[in-house]
A and B are shown apart, each in its own frame.
Chain A
Amino acid sequence: MIGLDSVVFFLFAALSIFAALRVITARNPVHAALFLVLAFFSMAGIWMLLEAEFLAITLVLVYVGAVMVLFLFVVMMLDVNLERLREGFWRWFPVGGLVAALMVFEMITVLGDRAVATTGAQIAKHAADYSNTKELGRLIYTDYVYPFELAAVVLLVAIVAAIALTLRHRRVPKKQDPSKQVRVKRNDRVRLISMPSSKKVSAQPDAAKAD
């Protein structure tokens, strides 16, 4: 008898495999990015089944809500030429295949034993008032504080590097000072001149010359 949990799990698993495959096979890069969004969603569903609601919602919030939006932003603006991208596919296939095989091997050696050991075990169910978030926060800031801080420093370095790479100083800076803009008074910009609305025109001198 397959329980509802298993049905939902296989549904999400099939969906994420399908979406992940379409990410690399879709011809249109925008479609590929949208399939990646679908893959994130189905993975979030699987995490939700594991009662990891904090991780599941954060995955949607960070990856789908922010990272993929920027991805789409870039992919839509670039004119990606697929034919040129696919040109050297078979030439580089052996290298790519080797890297892929290495990664699979690595994953199996790292996760394999543990994954096999826990398949039969039941994951402990928690009461409704159990807060996943609190527990995770406690672990991050006590037991795993050094790896966590290290990850934060790596991210900070990446942020600084990205800004340093893209920052260009213009020769003529077009900087605006909003407080200055706000302080502007009418008299700084507009000069009111009093002019008579009508003027007496002297007898046409030009007309006389033309004759």
Chain B
Amino acid sequence: MAGKLRAYVRLLALYGRMDLNWMLQDSVTVIIILISETLQNLSSMAGVLLLAVRFGGVGSLSADEVLFMLGFYELASGLCFMLFGNFNVMHISRRLGRGQLDHMLIQPRPLLLQLATEGFMPFTGCHGLIIGVILTWIALARLELALTPGWFLLLAYYVVIHMALQIAQTALYGASALWRPVACEEISTMILDLNQQLGKFPLAGLQGWLMAALHTVLPVGLLAYLPALALLRGLGKGIGLTLPLAVASVFMAAAIICMKKGLKHYEIYSCNRYKDMGHRN
């Protein structure tokens, strides 16, 4: 266990150092990417926020609560992006669909360890997290919420749930690229985009069946809406704590099963396609 942890930290440090090197060596490119991604993040929130400000809130959420929800989404997804965003680790269907799994299989490291570390980008991938922290902090200041250690623990819980759901979904649907590399190459991107669009939308006021579906089958409501309600107003243990954990666990289990089945299929058929596009770029 200690050896595994040491390997994890060592590889994390390696990829962090490589990210820093890239930032220092190719500063102009990095600045352009950071500015464009920051603008993209802000513009994706602008619509919902402007509507909330114009109409004094959306559904039962006030404008400040909507701001908190958006801030939370940015914070959690920004952390996820910082940990797994590099080299298409989160867009796993790209790597699988382009036949790039072979590059991983020749490394003398477990696949899971490679996936857990390769995407780490603490310097060029931290903009989402910074935006999220700032927005959340502004919203909290305006809401004048009493912040306790328990509240921060709950915040951490929902951040972990958010990350688990994003990763589980990208892996679950992305595994299809092991069977259909061409057709499913971009499926992880589609899922992440869908989460980004719907996950930032306050769901208050929707019909019950739709609300249930958006918290289970397509769990976008668990990414920011339900955590915002739980953190700002408090929810019962069942809905507030157990439901997100149960849904995230089911998605995680499904992702592991599908990935394992996909890898078994890969051992029989491999991938008859290879594209170096995006590989180690």
Q: Tell whether A pairs with B.
A: no
Q: Which residues of B contact A (CB under 8 A)?
A: none
Q: Which residues of A contact B (CB under 8 A)?
A: none
